[in-house]
Amino acid sequence: MIEILSPHIDDAAFSLACFILQKSDENVPIEITTCFSISDYLANGNGSNVLEEVVRIRKAEDHDFSRQLNPSVKFNYLDLDDAPLRGYQKCGFQDCFSEADQQQIRSLQAYLKSKDSPVIAPLGLGNHVDHIICHRAAEAVRNRIFAFYEDLPYAGRIPEAEILERVEYIQNNSRLRLMPLIAGTNYTHRKEQLCSLYPSQLKDWYLEKILHQLNRLRGERLWVVQEYG
């Protein structure tokens, strides 16, 4: 079993759809755990969205994605409140966590510690506070981190040097050695269709950046943990 930590409903598909499809076809058991699945955010909403309705729409999009995969792939929701519901106007991480954020990290750490599978967590590119929280929580199970994935669409709009800088920062701070691995190479032709299953979250530039990075790398890049320092 591989545990994929997805900050929001859509991140696993946007960032790892080809990898998940590949592993699904190889019958590798996968569980996608979405952390901040309570949200009233719609990319094309008018700002007065009804929370329950948005959660319903977003989980239905995930369900459509699940139907493209081997039925053995599990979807799990921790139903934590996303950043806007915790009072964030903008979701950029500002170098320190609020008390509510720290509580979210503790919840996630407890969840990960209750399991024993290898974990794939976001790298934290784009600096979205919820993505950074997931990344930090994964540090609590450092001997089980299998890899970090590049957060899309964010990774598609920042220079390569900035991605490498983030990898270097993580290596220095966590003393984990990370090596790049391009995954899902034979499934790249499916990515556009799979991402399009999340219309409520697709801002106009998202798909373009996701596909730009996919074509540039000829797959999805994971940073695999090589050794524990």
- Point out which residues bind Zn ion (CB under 5 A): 7-8, 11
Count CB-CB contacts under 10 A for residue 98. Answer: 13
**What is the nearest approach in angstroms of Zn ion to the Cβ of residue 11?**
4
Three-state DSSP class for residue 78 = coil
Give the residue from 2, 10, 19 showing the smallest Cα distance to 188. 19
User: Of the two residues 199 and 228, which places its CB atom closer to Zn ion in the complex?
Assistant: 199
User: Of the two residues 3 and 10, which places its CB atom closer to Zn ion in the complex?
Assistant: 10
Residues 6+ apart with CB under 8 A from 61: 9, 10, 197, 198, 199, 200, 201
**What is the nearest approach in angstroms of Zn ion to the Cβ of residue 191?**
17
User: Of the two residues 83 and 147, which places its CB atom closer to Zn ion in the complex?
Assistant: 83
User: Of the two residues 7 and 124, which places its CB atom closer to Zn ion in the complex?
Assistant: 7
User: Of the two residues 11 and 61, which places its CB atom closer to Zn ion in the complex?
Assistant: 11
**What is the nearest approach in angstroms of Zn ion to the Cβ of residue 71?**
25
Helices (H), the chain: 11-25, 51-66, 99-113, 129-138, 160-174, 191-195, 206-217
Cα 11-153-51 angle, rounded to 5 deg? 50
Amino acid at the residue 142: R
Termini Cα distance of the chain? 24
**What is the nearest approach in angstroms of Zn ion to the Cβ of residue 83?**
9
**What is the nearest approach in angstroms of Zn ion to the Cβ of residue 107?**
17
